[in-house]
Amino acid sequence: MAVTVMGAVLVGCGSGSAPDKASPDRTGAASPQPGNPLDGIAKKAPTMAPGPGGLTPVFERGLRPAAAAKAEKTVALTFDADMTADQGPRAAEGERFDNPALISSLRRLNVPSTVFMTGRWAEEYPDQTKAIGNDPLFEIANHSYSHYAFTSPCYDLPTIGRNDMRADVDRAFTAFRKAGARNVVPYFRFPGGCYNDTALREIAPAKMTAVQWDVISGDAFTTDADAVAQQVLAEVQPGSVVVMHCTRSAAPVTEEAITQIVPELRERGYRFVKVSELMRGAPTERGGRG
């Protein structure tokens, strides 16, 4: 099948049942301990029913009936906290993959948000992971452990093996739990937004909903905050999912852009919600393949 890839994203940073332990990765880090990595995941967060053939369902945006002119305008701002499994040396040399100023601004502006976090990011910044994951304003969703691509080609990302996909997902949930994050939801965003039916099938036992987006902010690798804000404001519709980033070194103007985006969308009558609220009770559109 053709790969569905929706827009520019941060780069860098097997079949059968899932293995009990994660395969060794390039960092040599220990595999997660046996057990259910989904323990502690928010049980009340809505998920979509599996797709045809039991594939992981894919959510792209909440739809509002065309005739419902008075329907509430909601939008979900989502932030990918990207760090690949092999970027530890860069972090040790001082590169910052976090963005505390962005999180502070979201708090100051009171913007509920969903952070799609890699397990490697959570290991690098456990205190921030715990703070984000215990703040009711936010929810943490899974962006893989390694930020390696689940299909290829995908923006020059390293590619994870088919038989390691489920273990990589589980390992990220384990990292969130070890950091002490509580507001964790069973949602998954493919690194690079790249996936195919094989990937959807391999992670299906985790019983997650994959979450894509319909609005690309363009914040990755840009220094023009005005352009990011203008792009988002031009494309947002009721029920939109906006993809942005929480990675200071690779998306340095995101915090500045949201200080323009949030007031303007509120002026237009929009209310900001987490993905879990956007998904709850709303008609949905399934991306990917049936």
Q: What is the pTM of this model?
A: 0.85
Residues 6+ apart with CB under 8 A from 88: 27, 120, 124
Exposed/middle/buried for 64, CB within 10 Å: 0-12, 13-18, 19+?
middle
Q: Is residue 60 helix, strand or coil?
A: strand
pLDDT tens digit string along 66-105? 533 456 799 999 999 999 999 999 999 999 999 999 999 9
Cα–Cα distances (Å) from 246 to 8, 75, 94, 216, in that order, read 15, 18, 16, 14
* Angle at alpha carbon of residue 184, lines to 86 and 43, rounded to 5°: 140
pLDDT tens digit string along 14-27? 222 232 333 333 33
Per-residue model confidence as pLDDT tens for the chain (290 residues): 333 333 333 333 322 223 233 333 333 333 434 456 766 676 689 999 999 999 999 999 986 545 334 567 999 999 999 999 999 999 999 999 999 999 999 999 999 999 999 999 999 999 999 999 999 999 999 999 999 999 999 999 999 999 999 999 999 999 999 999 999 999 999 999 999 999 999 999 999 999 999 999 999 999 999 999 999 999 999 999 999 999 999 999 999 999 999 999 999 999 999 999 999 855 443 433 32
Residue ranges in 27-111 assigned as alpha helix (H): 88-92, 100-108
Neighbours of 55 (CB within 10 A): 21
What is the Cα–Cα distance from 177 to 166, expressed in whole angstroms?
17
Distance between the two ends of the chain, CA-based, in angstroms?
A: 11
What is the Cα–Cα distance from 257 to 192, expressed in whole angstroms?
21
